[in-house]
Amino acid sequence: MTKIWILIASLATGLAPLTAAAQSMTPMRGEVRSFTDAFAVRVFPGNPYDQRIRVEVHVYDQDFQPVEAKVTPSVFLLAGQASRPVLVIVPFDGATDRKVRICTESIPFPSEQTQIRAQICGKFFGHRKF
């Protein structure tokens, strides 16, 4: 019986460093003032994994409905342990204020059986100055 507990303890100790890494994006919140009919936000999606992942950046409104925004680049491959800048330009569409969610989506572990799609979203406010 003691050998079983030693085996369980050693397995638990050996597995302790294997923690799950979380996808990241900075900043997660922002407030932008603009004198034009659009506002720009620069976000930095990050890849905490050791392998390369495919990243897509999408823009949604408060109800997670897609927003017509210019995202450069919108789809790219990101190396392991890396991040890169992405420029997002959101039109006001006639409003003086606009709230959007900029989301980084990726497939970190593609396989034939399953595709785990991770998504992380930040909340951004644009204010139009006249």
In a domain, 4, yes or no: no
Top-confidence residue, 112 or 122: 122
In a domain, 6, yes or no: no
Peptide bond into 91 cis (omega under 30): no
In a domain, 12, yes or no: no
CB atoms within 10 A of CB 45: 25
Report strand pairing: 115-128 vs 29-34: parallel
Residue 101: both structure tokens together: 């969610």
* 23-41 pLDDT per residue, tens: 789 999 999 999 999 999 9
The band of 10, judged by pLDDT with boundaries at 50, 70 and 90, is very low
Specify whether the CB–CB gap between 126 and 97 falls below 8 A. Answer: yes
Nearest to 106 by CA among 96, 120, 92, 125: 120
In a domain, 16, yes or no: no
In a domain, 40, yes or no: yes
In a domain, 64, yes or no: yes
The confidence score (pLDDT) of residue 34 equals 96
Domain hosting residue 113, numbered range:
21-128
In a domain, 10, yes or no: no
List the CATH number of the domain containing 44: 2.60.40.10
Question: Looking at the 3D structure of the chain, how many domains does it have?
Answer: 1
Whole-angstrom Cα distance, residue 27 to residue 124? 9
Mean pLDDT of 99-113: 82
CB atoms within 10 A of CB 21: 12
Q: Please name the residue that has the structure tokens 């951004």.
A: 124
- Rg value, the chain, Cα: 20
pTM, 2 dp? 0.78
